[in-house]
A and B are shown apart, each in its own frame.
Chain A
Amino acid sequence: MTYKEIARKYIENNNLSIGDTIKVHKEDISYTGILLDRPEDADDGYIVLKLSSGYNIGIAIDNTKAELIEKGDKPQIGYGESEIPHDPSKQNISVVSTGGTVSSVIDYRTGAVHPKFTASDLVKANPELLDYANYNVKALYNILSENMKPEYWVKAAKEVANDISDGADGVVIAHGTDTMHYTSAALSFMLKTPVPIILTGAQRSSDRPSSDANINLIDSVIAAKSDIAEVCVCMHGSLNDEFTYLHKGTKVRKMHTSRRDTFRSINAQPIAKIQNSEIKINSNYNYSKRGENSLEVNCDIEEKVGFIKSFPGISEEYIEYHIDKGYKGIVIEGTGLGHVPNNLINTFKRATDENIPIIMTSQCLYGRVNMNVYSTGREIIDTGVISGLDMTPETTYVKLCWALGQSENINEVKEIMQSNIVGEISEKSSIKDFLN
């Protein structure tokens, strides 16, 4: 029960429980309905009733009397587990849930939405999945996407690696969309994979009929069965429920707060388009094929990495603070080609002197960092700042965490940051790589 003081006392004093049918008498009216719980962030002093019409209303409990009409049953949540058929002729796909929900069940009696995590829930909500594969489903952890931490990347990488060694022909990871591109980049660096690893999610929650979850999930399974043995993000390709795009895990970014087609390839094009259960691979893409790599896990990371956006008037204290607090590396999101106001330049020098690598990226997101064009840029280079080239700031951040996990030597870190490990850096900027 999330009721706070006043309402909680009222409910307890009247011997009521959530789910009971009660009648509340006010001065000139009374309401009969099922007593529901109240959203946690809502004000005290009110109770929520679900009327027989299905509507919820809030009642201010001041000067009211409550009467029990009928004790409610404890709500039975969800449905029983049932056996999912196993078809030996089909591939085995492992589905890992990291938060968010793979499906939801609405309890219309109380109006509660219950997130579901098991394989049978998944298949019950999306029965057409059975046409494609056999499933092994597990809830790895249940956190909101925005609460993701680097340590969870490690946990996910290990779990996925286990699934692959246990024989999964492909892995689908259900992930909240806010930080999906961080996790996809992290898994890209941590895992060499013989099978596809596909991250997917939904921009509209799975409790609504218009959710994009179903199509994203089915297309992710199709991608997980494909020949593309890389870490990818599979999400809606347009506002239509028509096709999805498969984006390279290190070259993708969430670009809109709410649209279904929020995920875009940055400085790259999608690897493939999936439509009507068919996957069409971009012929220009040189991807790792299924079975080409054998499984390798390298989860060593450094979590103490700063990520600072430059802005007009930024003070050098921002950088000083990170150095003073013992950060091991800093990613800067500079302006334009990779610039910051020149008052920061001395602090960059200090950082490099103290063996703290600084990587320059751009707030433009699209395009390549090039600090040779303007004098400020050249001064920045002289302090030892490393170019993030055409990587997104987020991929650069994840890569720096990983690079610092591999080496403490600033020259080696520079070497790692500027080498193309999993396709995160492209040397060429194609005319087609912008706003697609």
Chain B
Amino acid sequence: MKMDILSVKDLKKHFDGVKAVDGCSIAIETGTVVGLIGPNGAGKTTMFNLISGFERGIGEIVFKGIRTDNLSPFKIARCGMVRTFQIPRALTKMTVSENLMLAPKTQLGERIWDVWLHPKRVREQEMQIREKSRDILEFFEISHLEGEYAGALSGGQKKLLEMARAMMIDPSMMLLDEPFAGVNPTLARKISRHICELHEDGMTFLVIEHDIPAITKISDRIVVMNEGKIMAEGEPAEIKQRRDVLEVYIGGER
């Protein structure tokens, strides 16, 4: 029996009477890929914002044994949880390489006095970080973009960049918000292959996605949300058979 890396208990978030997330509980086992699906407005992104600390709700969130529901986003990130955004947020006026090198935790050169007092150690660390960023760029097959400004990248490349940047902080869990949306099929296949490879290395994922065939292929489990509530949970094959899930999706389009 594996441990739960993340457990969410009775999480609620209301916006002026709209119950965006209304009493959700999820437990995610270490090293699994969990897909979070549901029609538009089901509360998936709000759920992400709550888990990553960008919004405050009511309820209990425990990540790696630490209560994180009252922590700021940056503290949660330091615990080893990293998220991407629905609309990719590359730092467009910085180069791809700078985007990646920004990410690692506890960089000596991020403290002003160390920039002055230990320039040599800062330089050495920078070199290690640069090397690591090159390895990760290679893994995501975007090495050729290293020196480009992130603003010059295509939408799909920005998604890859976001994932690559997230990898730089050595996370134990990644939250991906629609990694396949607006990405051409070749690139989508690439992204899902990368997720699978990282999964094999033991990374835990929580993935919001609308592309049902793609998400069911990579997930160990699927959680279905509708109107702020969790309506179904189970193995991908099982979820695909559920008539109510299908109806919600088709109904949700109207």
Q: Do A and B bind each other?
A: no
A→B interface (CB under 8 Å): none
